Structure 1
Protein backbone atom coordinates (compact mmCIF):
# COMPACT_ATOMS: atom_id res chain seq x y z
CA UNK A 1 0.00 0.00 0.00
CA UNK A 2 1.41 3.37 -1.03
CA UNK A 3 1.13 6.25 1.45
CA UNK A 4 1.36 9.91 0.46
CA UNK A 5 1.40 13.22 2.31
CA UNK A 6 1.03 16.86 1.46
CA UNK A 7 -0.03 20.24 2.78
CA UNK A 8 -2.20 23.11 1.62
CA UNK A 9 -2.69 26.61 3.07
CA UNK A 10 -5.96 27.55 4.75
CA UNK A 11 -5.80 31.07 6.15
CA UNK A 12 -2.91 31.26 8.61
CA UNK A 13 -2.88 27.50 8.89
CA UNK A 14 -1.75 24.59 6.73
CA UNK A 15 -3.87 21.49 6.28
CA UNK A 16 -1.71 18.38 6.27
CA UNK A 17 -3.09 15.17 4.78
CA UNK A 18 -1.72 11.62 4.81
CA UNK A 19 -3.51 9.14 2.56
CA UNK A 20 -3.21 5.83 0.77
CA UNK A 21 -4.71 4.71 -2.51
CA UNK A 22 -7.73 3.48 -0.54
CA UNK A 23 -8.47 6.08 2.18
CA UNK A 24 -7.51 9.19 4.08
CA UNK A 25 -5.38 8.15 7.04
CA UNK A 26 -4.90 11.43 8.89
CA UNK A 27 -5.62 15.17 8.60
CA UNK A 28 -4.07 17.79 10.85
CA UNK A 29 -3.47 21.53 11.01
CA UNK A 30 -0.22 23.39 11.57
CA UNK A 31 1.09 26.93 11.45
CA UNK A 32 4.48 25.62 10.37
CA UNK A 33 4.64 25.81 6.54
CA UNK A 34 7.62 23.44 6.47
CA UNK A 35 5.73 20.51 7.96
CA UNK A 36 5.70 18.41 4.80
CA UNK A 37 6.09 18.79 1.07
CA UNK A 38 3.72 17.55 -1.57
CA UNK A 39 0.21 18.27 -2.68
CA UNK A 40 -3.03 17.02 -1.21
CA UNK A 41 -5.94 15.35 -3.04
CA UNK A 42 -7.59 17.78 -5.47
CA UNK A 43 -11.06 17.37 -3.96
CA UNK A 44 -9.77 18.60 -0.58
CA UNK A 45 -7.98 21.56 -2.21
CA UNK A 46 -11.22 22.50 -3.97
CA UNK A 47 -13.14 22.22 -0.70
CA UNK A 48 -10.65 24.50 1.10
CA UNK A 49 -11.12 27.05 -1.69
CA UNK A 50 -14.92 26.94 -1.32
CA UNK A 51 -15.38 25.25 -4.71
CA UNK A 52 -16.41 21.77 -3.60
CA UNK A 53 -19.18 20.93 -1.17
CA UNK A 54 -18.81 17.17 -1.12
CA UNK A 55 -16.04 15.10 0.43
CA UNK A 56 -18.28 12.09 1.06
CA UNK A 57 -16.48 10.00 -1.55
CA UNK A 58 -13.35 10.04 0.62
CA UNK A 59 -12.98 7.17 3.05
CA UNK A 60 -11.64 7.66 6.56
CA UNK A 61 -9.83 4.99 8.52
CA UNK A 62 -11.85 6.15 11.56
CA UNK A 63 -15.23 5.01 10.16
CA UNK A 64 -14.09 1.42 9.77
CA UNK A 65 -15.43 -1.24 12.13
CA UNK A 66 -13.21 -1.63 15.14
CA UNK A 67 -12.40 2.06 15.59
CA UNK A 68 -13.63 3.05 19.07
CA UNK A 69 -15.74 5.98 17.82
CA UNK A 70 -16.71 4.66 14.37
CA UNK A 71 -20.47 4.93 15.09
CA UNK A 72 -20.18 8.57 16.11
CA UNK A 73 -17.92 9.35 13.14
CA UNK A 74 -20.37 7.75 10.70
CA UNK A 75 -23.15 10.01 12.02
CA UNK A 76 -20.97 13.13 11.80
CA UNK A 77 -19.84 12.22 8.28
CA UNK A 78 -23.50 12.48 7.21
CA UNK A 79 -23.98 16.09 8.41
CA UNK A 80 -24.54 18.05 5.18
CA UNK A 81 -22.34 20.90 4.02
CA UNK A 82 -23.48 24.17 5.57
CA UNK A 83 -25.44 22.50 8.37
CA UNK A 84 -24.60 21.72 11.99
CA UNK A 85 -25.70 19.39 14.77
CA UNK A 86 -25.12 19.87 18.48
CA UNK A 87 -23.01 17.49 20.51
CA UNK A 88 -26.25 16.42 22.23
CA UNK A 89 -28.04 15.70 18.94
CA UNK A 90 -25.16 13.53 17.73
CA UNK A 91 -25.08 11.80 21.13
CA UNK A 92 -28.78 11.00 20.98
CA UNK A 93 -28.41 9.45 17.50
CA UNK A 94 -25.35 7.48 18.65
CA UNK A 95 -26.91 6.31 21.92
CA UNK A 96 -24.28 7.97 24.09
CA UNK A 97 -23.75 11.33 25.81
CA UNK A 98 -22.44 14.69 24.65
CA UNK A 99 -19.12 14.36 26.52
CA UNK A 100 -18.32 11.16 24.63
CA UNK A 101 -19.11 12.94 21.36
CA UNK A 102 -16.81 15.81 22.39
CA UNK A 103 -14.02 13.35 23.13
CA UNK A 104 -14.56 11.65 19.77
CA UNK A 105 -14.41 15.02 17.97
CA UNK A 106 -11.16 15.93 19.77
CA UNK A 107 -9.64 12.59 18.73
CA UNK A 108 -10.94 12.68 15.15
CA UNK A 109 -7.98 11.62 12.99
CA UNK A 110 -9.55 12.88 9.76
CA UNK A 111 -11.20 16.29 10.25
CA UNK A 112 -12.78 17.63 7.04
CA UNK A 113 -13.48 14.04 5.93
CA UNK A 114 -15.38 13.49 9.19
CA UNK A 115 -16.53 17.13 9.45
CA UNK A 116 -16.24 17.59 13.21
CA UNK A 117 -16.35 21.37 12.67
CA UNK A 118 -20.09 20.89 11.98
CA UNK A 119 -20.66 19.65 15.53
CA UNK A 120 -21.36 22.66 17.73
CA UNK A 121 -22.29 23.43 21.31
CA UNK A 122 -25.90 24.16 22.20
CA UNK A 123 -24.96 27.73 23.10
CA UNK A 124 -22.04 28.49 20.78
CA UNK A 125 -19.39 27.13 18.51
CA UNK A 126 -17.71 24.69 20.87
CA UNK A 127 -14.09 23.69 20.72
CA UNK A 128 -11.75 22.56 17.97
CA UNK A 129 -8.22 21.19 18.07
CA UNK A 130 -5.80 22.88 17.55
CA UNK A 131 -7.74 26.18 17.40
CA UNK A 132 -11.39 27.20 17.35
CA UNK A 133 -10.50 29.82 14.70
CA UNK A 134 -10.17 26.97 12.16
CA UNK A 135 -13.64 25.69 13.05
CA UNK A 136 -15.10 29.18 12.72
CA UNK A 137 -13.38 29.73 9.35
CA UNK A 138 -14.67 26.39 8.01
CA UNK A 139 -18.21 27.14 9.18
CA UNK A 140 -18.12 30.64 7.66
CA UNK A 141 -16.82 29.19 4.39
CA UNK A 142 -19.81 26.81 4.39
CA UNK A 143 -22.20 29.70 5.02
CA UNK A 144 -23.04 28.86 8.63
CA UNK A 145 -23.74 31.91 10.77
CA UNK A 146 -21.64 31.77 13.92
Structure 2
Protein backbone atom coordinates (compact mmCIF):
# COMPACT_ATOMS: atom_id res chain seq x y z
CA UNK A 1 0.00 0.00 0.00
CA UNK A 2 1.33 3.42 -0.95
CA UNK A 3 0.45 6.69 0.75
CA UNK A 4 1.05 10.33 -0.08
CA UNK A 5 -0.63 13.69 -0.47
CA UNK A 6 -1.03 16.72 -2.68
CA UNK A 7 -2.06 20.26 -1.73
CA UNK A 8 -5.44 21.89 -2.27
CA UNK A 9 -5.49 25.39 -0.84
CA UNK A 10 -4.97 25.19 2.90
CA UNK A 11 -5.70 21.45 2.83
CA UNK A 12 -3.74 18.39 1.80
CA UNK A 13 -5.43 15.47 0.09
CA UNK A 14 -4.02 12.28 1.64
CA UNK A 15 -4.37 9.17 -0.51
CA UNK A 16 -3.75 5.46 0.18
CA UNK A 17 -3.66 3.25 -2.92
CA UNK A 18 -2.20 0.25 -4.65
CA UNK A 19 -1.95 0.22 -8.42
CA UNK A 20 -5.21 1.83 -9.64
CA UNK A 21 -7.27 0.94 -6.54
CA UNK A 22 -7.70 3.73 -3.98
CA UNK A 23 -8.63 2.61 -0.49
CA UNK A 24 -8.65 5.92 1.40
CA UNK A 25 -8.80 9.67 0.72
CA UNK A 26 -8.71 12.18 3.57
CA UNK A 27 -8.45 15.96 3.83
CA UNK A 28 -5.94 17.12 6.44
CA UNK A 29 -4.14 20.36 7.23
CA UNK A 30 -0.65 18.86 6.94
CA UNK A 31 1.18 17.07 4.11
CA UNK A 32 2.07 13.39 4.08
CA UNK A 33 5.47 12.05 3.15
CA UNK A 34 5.41 11.26 -0.54
CA UNK A 35 3.14 12.37 -3.32
CA UNK A 36 -0.36 11.31 -4.26
CA UNK A 37 -1.16 9.69 -7.61
CA UNK A 38 -0.73 12.17 -10.48
CA UNK A 39 -4.45 11.91 -11.26
CA UNK A 40 -5.30 13.77 -8.03
CA UNK A 41 -2.96 16.64 -8.90
CA UNK A 42 -4.57 16.92 -12.34
CA UNK A 43 -8.08 16.87 -10.88
CA UNK A 44 -7.23 19.51 -8.27
CA UNK A 45 -5.78 21.68 -11.05
CA UNK A 46 -9.21 21.68 -12.71
CA UNK A 47 -8.93 18.75 -15.15
CA UNK A 48 -12.44 17.22 -15.39
CA UNK A 49 -10.91 13.87 -16.41
CA UNK A 50 -8.05 14.03 -13.93
CA UNK A 51 -9.16 11.04 -11.86
CA UNK A 52 -9.68 8.76 -14.88
CA UNK A 53 -8.13 5.35 -14.48
CA UNK A 54 -8.50 5.16 -10.70
CA UNK A 55 -10.97 2.88 -8.91
CA UNK A 56 -12.48 3.16 -5.43
CA UNK A 57 -12.82 0.28 -2.99
CA UNK A 58 -16.13 1.87 -1.96
CA UNK A 59 -17.89 1.01 -5.22
CA UNK A 60 -17.15 -2.72 -5.11
CA UNK A 61 -19.92 -5.16 -4.26
CA UNK A 62 -23.70 -4.91 -4.10
CA UNK A 63 -24.30 -3.36 -0.69
CA UNK A 64 -26.62 -0.36 -0.43
CA UNK A 65 -23.61 1.89 0.19
CA UNK A 66 -21.75 0.51 -2.88
CA UNK A 67 -24.84 1.20 -5.02
CA UNK A 68 -25.06 4.72 -3.57
CA UNK A 69 -21.36 5.35 -4.25
CA UNK A 70 -21.74 4.20 -7.88
CA UNK A 71 -24.77 6.48 -8.31
CA UNK A 72 -22.77 9.41 -6.93
CA UNK A 73 -19.87 8.61 -9.27
CA UNK A 74 -22.32 9.04 -12.16
CA UNK A 75 -23.00 12.69 -11.24
CA UNK A 76 -21.17 14.70 -13.91
CA UNK A 77 -18.23 16.94 -13.09
CA UNK A 78 -19.46 20.44 -12.22
CA UNK A 79 -23.02 19.34 -11.47
CA UNK A 80 -24.86 18.48 -8.27
CA UNK A 81 -27.68 16.20 -7.20
CA UNK A 82 -29.65 15.93 -3.98
CA UNK A 83 -29.63 13.27 -1.30
CA UNK A 84 -33.24 12.52 -2.25
CA UNK A 85 -32.45 12.09 -5.95
CA UNK A 86 -29.65 9.64 -5.17
CA UNK A 87 -31.95 7.79 -2.77
CA UNK A 88 -34.58 7.47 -5.49
CA UNK A 89 -32.03 6.04 -7.95
CA UNK A 90 -30.93 3.27 -5.61
CA UNK A 91 -34.17 2.56 -3.75
CA UNK A 92 -33.39 3.91 -0.31
CA UNK A 93 -34.05 7.06 1.74
CA UNK A 94 -32.10 10.35 1.86
CA UNK A 95 -30.87 9.74 5.42
CA UNK A 96 -29.10 6.53 4.27
CA UNK A 97 -27.47 8.49 1.43
CA UNK A 98 -26.31 11.10 3.94
CA UNK A 99 -24.81 8.39 6.14
CA UNK A 100 -23.04 6.86 3.13
CA UNK A 101 -21.61 10.26 2.20
CA UNK A 102 -20.39 10.83 5.76
CA UNK A 103 -18.67 7.41 5.74
CA UNK A 104 -17.33 7.67 2.17
CA UNK A 105 -13.75 6.34 2.33
CA UNK A 106 -12.72 7.83 -1.02
CA UNK A 107 -14.05 11.37 -1.49
CA UNK A 108 -13.21 12.88 -4.87
CA UNK A 109 -13.30 9.40 -6.48
CA UNK A 110 -16.81 9.13 -5.07
CA UNK A 111 -17.58 12.85 -5.38
CA UNK A 112 -19.76 13.29 -2.31
CA UNK A 113 -19.23 17.06 -2.57
CA UNK A 114 -21.64 16.92 -5.54
CA UNK A 115 -24.48 15.73 -3.29
CA UNK A 116 -26.39 18.60 -1.73
CA UNK A 117 -29.51 19.09 0.37
CA UNK A 118 -32.68 20.19 -1.42
CA UNK A 119 -32.52 23.52 0.42
CA UNK A 120 -28.78 24.16 0.72
CA UNK A 121 -25.31 22.70 0.51
CA UNK A 122 -25.74 19.90 3.05
CA UNK A 123 -22.75 18.79 5.08
CA UNK A 124 -19.18 17.85 4.33
CA UNK A 125 -16.43 16.48 6.50
CA UNK A 126 -14.05 17.91 7.57
CA UNK A 127 -15.36 21.39 6.60
CA UNK A 128 -18.16 22.85 4.52
CA UNK A 129 -15.66 25.38 3.06
CA UNK A 130 -13.89 22.45 1.40
CA UNK A 131 -17.10 21.27 -0.27
CA UNK A 132 -17.72 24.79 -1.56
CA UNK A 133 -14.13 25.04 -2.85
CA UNK A 134 -14.45 21.72 -4.72
CA UNK A 135 -17.75 22.77 -6.29
CA UNK A 136 -16.23 26.12 -7.28
CA UNK A 137 -13.22 24.35 -8.80
CA UNK A 138 -15.50 22.16 -10.88
CA UNK A 139 -17.53 25.16 -12.03
CA UNK A 140 -14.36 26.92 -13.19
CA UNK A 141 -14.49 29.49 -10.39
CA UNK A 142 -11.43 28.46 -8.46
CA UNK A 143 -11.39 29.95 -4.98
CA UNK A 144 -8.12 28.31 -3.88
* TM-score after normalising by structure 1: 0.91
Structure 2, unaligned stretches of length 5 or more?
A: none
1:15 correspondence with 2:10:
no
- Offset at residue 43 of structure 1 (A): 1.2
Determine if contact 1:56/1:77 at 8 Å carries over to the other structure: no
Residue by residue over 1:4-46, the C-alpha shift from the partner in whole angstroms, topping out at 9 and shown as x without a partner, is 110111111110000001400100001123xx21111111101
Q: Determine the C-alpha separation between the residues in 2 that align with 1:66 and 1:96.
A: 14
Structure 2 partner of 1:130: 126
Aligned with residue 82 of structure 2, among 71, 78, 86: 86
Q: Determine the C-alpha separation between the residues in 2 that align with 1:56 and 1:137.
A: 21
Structure 1 partner of 2:91: 95
1:53 correspondence with 2:48:
yes
- Offset at residue 68 of structure 1 (A): 5.2
Structure 1, unaligned stretches of length 5 or more?
A: none
Determine if contact 1:87/1:101 at 8 Å carries over to the other structure: yes
1:104-115 correspondence to structure 2 within 5 Å:
104-115=100-111
Residues 56 and 95 from structure 1, CA distance in 2 versus in 1: closer, same or farther, beyond 3 angstroms?
farther
Q: Determine the C-alpha separation between the residues in 1 that align with 2:64 and 2:117.
A: 22
- Offset at residue 64 of structure 1 (A): 0.5
Determine if contact 2:22/2:106 at 8 Å carries over to the other structure: yes
Provide the aligned length of Structure 1 versus Structure 2: 140
Q: Determine the C-alpha separation between the residues in 2 that align with 1:94 and 1:128.
A: 21
Three-state SS of the structure 2 residue aligned to 1:103 is helix
Residues 56 and 80 from structure 1, CA distance in 2 versus in 1: closer, same or farther, beyond 3 angstroms?
farther
